[in-house]
Chains A and B, each alone.
Chain A
Amino acid sequence: MRCKKVGSKKVIVVGVLVPFFILSIFACVALALTVDDVARDLICPCGCGKMLDVCEMESAKEMKGLIGEKIAQGETKDQIIGYFVAQHGEKILAAPTKKGFNLTAWVAPFLVIGLGAGIISLVIVKWVLRGKIREEEIKKTQQEEVQGKYAAKLKKELEKFEF
């Protein structure tokens, strides 16, 4: 019993503290904002449909230049993106925003997978239980068959026996 307790403590240390330690290392690393960090979230306004960071059109170059100036002025990524959305509308964003109706775009895939996982778990449990019940029923029937066979034999023997 004692051994088991020590084992579970080890599991807690390994399972919780180690990932926490690793994640905290990642969290400590902060990076400076670059033009590409912002450009990767926007598309080129010229209508070519390319991502801003990979587009080489003049309009894309001008926009990247402006992003560089805004970074130099100390603006955050959200502020810079907000500026371009105000200028061009939501279509300038390379991905839907995470608010309002657009949130459904982000949530639906995980919701469907989560729902699927729930259904599969229930189905597995149901199948396992059904399998066990069937197994027990088969066992019981076999037992009854065997018992019935012996009971009939015993009855026959007893009938033969004269007291």
Chain B
Amino acid sequence: MSTIGSFSLTLALLVSLYSLIAFTLGARTKKREWTRSGQNAVFAVAGLVSLAAAVLVYALISGDFQIQYVAEHSSRSLPLAYRLSAFWGGQEGSLLLWEWLLVLFAAVVMIQNRKKNRILMPYVLTIMMGISLFFLVLLTFISRPFQLLPFLPSDGRGLNPLLQNPGMWFHPPATYLGYVGFSVPFAFAMAALLTRKLNDIWIRSTRQWVLFSWLFLSIGNLLGAQWAYVELGWGGYWAWDPVENASFMPWLTATAYLHSVMIQERRGMLKVWNMVLIILTFVLIIFGTFIVRSGILSSVHSFAVSPLLGALFLTFIGVILLFSLSLLASRWSLLRSENELDSLLSRESTFLFNNLILVGAAFAIFWGTIFPLISEAVKGVKITVGPPFYNQIMVPIGLTLLLLTGICPLISWRRASGKNLKKNFLYPVIITAAGGMVILRWTIQHPYAFISFTLAIFVVSTIIIDFSRGVKARKGMTKEGYLKSSLNLITRNKRRYGGYIIHIGIVCLFVGITGSSAFKVERVETLEKGESLTIKDYQLKFESFSSYPTQDKHVTTATLSVSRGGKRIGILRPERNFYANQEQPVTEVAIRSTLKEDLYVILTQYSQDGPATFKVVINPLIMWMWLGGFILVGGTILAMWPDKRERLRLAMHYMQERIKNEV
């Protein structure tokens, strides 16, 4: 089987190289045959890489331990679901996943554009196949998923126990979908620069892809946070680990792009800036992949350290930067703004500041991530840049962003008058002031929490007031009922109200982050059976202890009854498990979640029939984070839902382009 896998990857590499040549010739000679041949080659590469992926899946299911990757990341006792997820549990498999998604996306893009974007497409596919070629070189020569062992082991080493969580099924694929998805807008941007077709066609053609990638990157980050929360057993969800940072940075620059692109669509401005943001997002994605695989920075997410792989990724980043920025510089004169700003105070100018804060946040994280390397190079001392640094730097930046989230949507395009400002902000400011007075009582010891909650009230009130105005206006015009007006208003302005819903999701995220950071309560106590501990108004009684083997691990569970105000409200069972192939025990926390707070219990130490030590954490409002995640997903789906008018507008654009070309 491994021969089929290796052969299909080698063949895919050759066909990928051929497709690059075919597209280049097709674009140069304007001969359709070459382009068509290149397109067939893309389908062939997609098929061959899919075959390699299928071989790896089969090897993992059947336990073909002769293959080094299968032996190192799975075992006979590993449940089937985790055996399958071992596909992306290691270096080689995750690279194969990257490549597989990339060629599938290339095929989808090709099908989507088979009757449109005829000038752009050969270039788009050249860029995508160029990226694919890089990954295929890695998979064929450096990081081979079908490398055979010189002997046949009786069993595999198994999957890292920390990866044996349902999160393994969703977090890495979601993150990869987001990562790889951004190669599509990047390819379109480069194609637009290469062909000098710098109108907004490339932007409109990739709008769904940008939203799709942003959505999955958001889901990936949130699922990663949730996984860390339930699996790592330290009561937190974000440790500002270099790899966490690496997936957060492109999310920030992509968010900036999602906002600034609106200015290009409406006013024909910020063309260079949008190009820069797309390039930056893609480069940061490759930078993230470089961090995970090079071992240059220590991280819980790191794969096996490979300096060669790191060097190749660094070179790839250099090539992308050199190519894209020199191309951008050569087309500078074609990217001039079509309009000027009409006023100092306008939606356009506030969006520029929103972009500044988002890109500034990405820079702050980038700077913190690489500062240990800079310090080592300059002072010879490797220092730690951990959560205290990021918390101090990011809190003011985050709060400024939250403030702008409330302000930006209510400022008029082109020019905001005093009357407009008063109309839009008077009531939100009054509501915010009143809300601030109410919450002051609980936040008196936490100024940042006070500001965060107050701004949350501000943002939500601006959205509600703006929406209710829209409903009122529509109701007045159409004589529809409130519900129908609301629904019609949303469905006819999916992009706008999808954006508002995303903002509400972001507010919920801020509420969760603020609550769980500022008001967290912790207690560590050693209890004998029958003894209790009290934390806030909860009483936890250590009832019993059990220890039993399962197929792949030895489970130790403590049972605690939980009461509140003398009333029993539930049972919590934190675990500490020993896996056969691992030296360290793995903690399985027990959580009781409500909208108000999470009661989070970790079994830190125990002795058979003796005392056990528990760490109990109360994380207020953390459920709001996950709720915010769901709202954000809902809002994004609404915003990217196909719109008839947009489709018509795009069809008109394509028609005009076609006529122009034919003429």
Residues of chain A at the chain B interface (Cβ within 8 Å): 22-23, 25-26, 29, 31, 36, 40-41, 43, 49-51, 54, 56, 89-91, 93-96, 101-102, 105-106, 108-110, 112-113, 116-117, 120, 123-125, 127-128, 130-131, 134
* A56/B615 in contact, CB under 8 A: yes
* B340/A127 in contact, CB under 8 A: yes
* A127/B384 in contact, CB under 8 A: no
Question: Can you list 23 pairs linking A and B with CB atoms under 8 Å apart?
Answer: A26-B450, A40-B388, A43-B386, A54-B234, A91-B384, A93-B384, A94-B386, A94-B388, A96-B375, A101-B379, A102-B375, A102-B383, A105-B367, A106-B389, A109-B364, A109-B367, A113-B357, A113-B397, A116-B359, A131-B339, A131-B340, A131-B341, A134-B340
- Taking each of B339, B359, B388, which has the highest tally of chain A beta carbons within 10 Å of its own beta carbon? B388
B156 located at the interface, meaning its Cβ lies under 8 Å from any Cβ of chain A in the complex: no
B378 located at the interface, meaning its Cβ lies under 8 Å from any Cβ of chain A in the complex: yes
B381 located at the interface, meaning its Cβ lies under 8 Å from any Cβ of chain A in the complex: yes
Within 8 Å by CB of B298, from A49, A102, A106, lies A49
Residue of B nearest to A25 (CB): B444
Residue of A nearest to B605 (CB): A56
* B363/A112 in contact, CB under 8 A: yes
Within 8 Å by CB of B375, from A41, A101, A127, A131, lies A101
Min CB distance, B395 to chain A, in Å?
Answer: 12
Within 8 Å by CB of A26, from B364, B368, B447, lies B447
Residue of A nearest to B587 (CB): A56
* B447/A116 in contact, CB under 8 A: no
The CA-CA distance from A113 to B383 in the complex, in Å, is: 24
A91: chain B residues within 8 A (beta carbon):
381-384
A-B contact count (CB 8 A): 117
- Please judge, given known A-B contacts A50-B234, A54-B235, whether A109 and B388 are in contact too, CB under 8 Å: no
Min CB distance, B438 to chain A, in Å?
Answer: 13
Min CB distance, B614 to chain A, in Å?
Answer: 11
A101: chain B residues within 8 A (beta carbon):
375, 378-379
* A120/B340 in contact, CB under 8 A: no
* A96/B360 in contact, CB under 8 A: no
* A128/B388 in contact, CB under 8 A: no
Given contacts A120-B356, A127-B337, 8 further A-B contacts (CB under 8 A): A51-B387, A95-B384, A95-B388, A113-B356, A113-B357, A113-B360, A124-B344, A124-B349
B543 located at the interface, meaning its Cβ lies under 8 Å from any Cβ of chain A in the complex: no
**Chain B stretch 384-418: residues in CB contact (< 8 A) with chain A:** 384-389, 392-393, 397
What string of 1s and 0s marks CB contacts (under 8 Å) between B328-339 and chain A? 000000000101
B236 located at the interface, meaning its Cβ lies under 8 Å from any Cβ of chain A in the complex: yes
- Taking each of A22, A31, A41, A130, which has the highest tally of chain B beta carbons within 10 Å of its own beta carbon? A22
Nearest 9 Cβ contacts at the A-B interface: A131-B340, A109-B364, A54-B234, A113-B360, A95-B389, A94-B386, A95-B388, A127-B341, A26-B447
A109: chain B residues within 8 A (beta carbon):
360, 363-364, 367-368, 393, 397
The CA-CA distance from A40 to B384 in the complex, in Å, is: 13
* B341/A128 in contact, CB under 8 A: yes
Min CB distance, A99 to chain B, in Å?
Answer: 12
* B381/A90 in contact, CB under 8 A: yes
The CA-CA distance from A41 to B387 in the complex, in Å, is: 9
B236: chain A residues within 8 A (beta carbon):
54
The CA-CA distance from A56 to B363 in the complex, in Å, is: 33
The CA-CA distance from A92 to B343 in the complex, in Å, is: 51
Within 8 Å by CB of B385, from A50, A95, A130, lies A95
B480 located at the interface, meaning its Cβ lies under 8 Å from any Cβ of chain A in the complex: no
Residue of B nearest to A120 (CB): B352
- Please judge, given known A-B contacts A51-B387, A127-B340, whether A112 and B447 are in contact too, CB under 8 Å: no
B445 located at the interface, meaning its Cβ lies under 8 Å from any Cβ of chain A in the complex: yes
* A128/B344 in contact, CB under 8 A: yes
**Chain B stretch 571-625: residues in CB contact (< 8 A) with chain A:** 604-605, 615
- Please judge, given known A-B contacts A94-B387, A108-B367, A116-B360, whether A26 and B445 are in contact too, CB under 8 Å: yes
A105: chain B residues within 8 A (beta carbon):
367-368, 371, 375, 385, 389
Residue of A nearest to B617 (CB): A54
* B397/A124 in contact, CB under 8 A: no
The CA-CA distance from A36 to B235 in the complex, in Å, is: 14
Min CB distance, A18 to chain B, in Å?
Answer: 9
* B340/A106 in contact, CB under 8 A: no
A108: chain B residues within 8 A (beta carbon):
367
Min CB distance, A17 to chain B, in Å?
Answer: 14
* B384/A43 in contact, CB under 8 A: yes
B525: chain A residues within 8 A (beta carbon):
none
Within 8 Å by CB of A117, from B353, B387, B615, lies B353
Min CB distance, B414 to chain A, in Å?
Answer: 10
A112: chain B residues within 8 A (beta carbon):
360, 363-364
* A117/B371 in contact, CB under 8 A: no
B342 located at the interface, meaning its Cβ lies under 8 Å from any Cβ of chain A in the complex: yes
* A22/B440 in contact, CB under 8 A: yes
The CA-CA distance from A110 to B339 in the complex, in Å, is: 31
Min CB distance, B255 to chain A, in Å?
Answer: 16
B531 located at the interface, meaning its Cβ lies under 8 Å from any Cβ of chain A in the complex: no
The CA-CA distance from A94 to B352 in the complex, in Å, is: 34
B522 located at the interface, meaning its Cβ lies under 8 Å from any Cβ of chain A in the complex: yes
* A51/B386 in contact, CB under 8 A: yes
Min CB distance, A103 to chain B, in Å?
Answer: 11
A116: chain B residues within 8 A (beta carbon):
356, 359-360
* A56/B604 in contact, CB under 8 A: yes
Residue of B nearest to A94 (CB): B386
A130: chain B residues within 8 A (beta carbon):
340
The CA-CA distance from A113 to B353 in the complex, in Å, is: 10
What string of 1s and 0s marks CB contacts (under 8 Å) between B501-518 and chain A? 000000000000000000
The CA-CA distance from A6 to B357 in the complex, in Å, is: 36
B352: chain A residues within 8 A (beta carbon):
120, 123-124
Residue of B nearest to A14 (CB): B433
A94: chain B residues within 8 A (beta carbon):
384, 386-389
B235: chain A residues within 8 A (beta carbon):
54
A50: chain B residues within 8 A (beta carbon):
234
The CA-CA distance from A145 to B615 in the complex, in Å, is: 83
Min CB distance, B469 to chain A, in Å?
Answer: 25
The CA-CA distance from A33 to B235 in the complex, in Å, is: 21
Within 8 Å by CB of B386, from A31, A95, A117, lies A95
B341: chain A residues within 8 A (beta carbon):
124, 127-128, 131
- Please judge, given known A-B contacts A109-B367, A124-B344, whether A96 and B389 are in contact too, CB under 8 Å: yes
A120: chain B residues within 8 A (beta carbon):
352-353, 356
A54: chain B residues within 8 A (beta carbon):
234-236
The CA-CA distance from A120 to B355 in the complex, in Å, is: 10
The CA-CA distance from A128 to B343 in the complex, in Å, is: 6
B383: chain A residues within 8 A (beta carbon):
90-91, 93, 96, 102
The CA-CA distance from A36 to B387 in the complex, in Å, is: 14
Min CB distance, B458 to chain A, in Å?
Answer: 15
The CA-CA distance from A131 to B605 in the complex, in Å, is: 70
A36: chain B residues within 8 A (beta carbon):
522
The CA-CA distance from A123 to B341 in the complex, in Å, is: 10
A40: chain B residues within 8 A (beta carbon):
387-388
B385: chain A residues within 8 A (beta carbon):
95-96, 105
A49: chain B residues within 8 A (beta carbon):
298, 300
What string of 1s and 0s marks CB contacts (under 8 Å) between B192-234 and chain A? 0000000000000000000000000000000000000000001
Residue of A nearest to B448 (CB): A26
B353: chain A residues within 8 A (beta carbon):
117, 120
The CA-CA distance from A124 to B450 in the complex, in Å, is: 32
* B444/A106 in contact, CB under 8 A: no
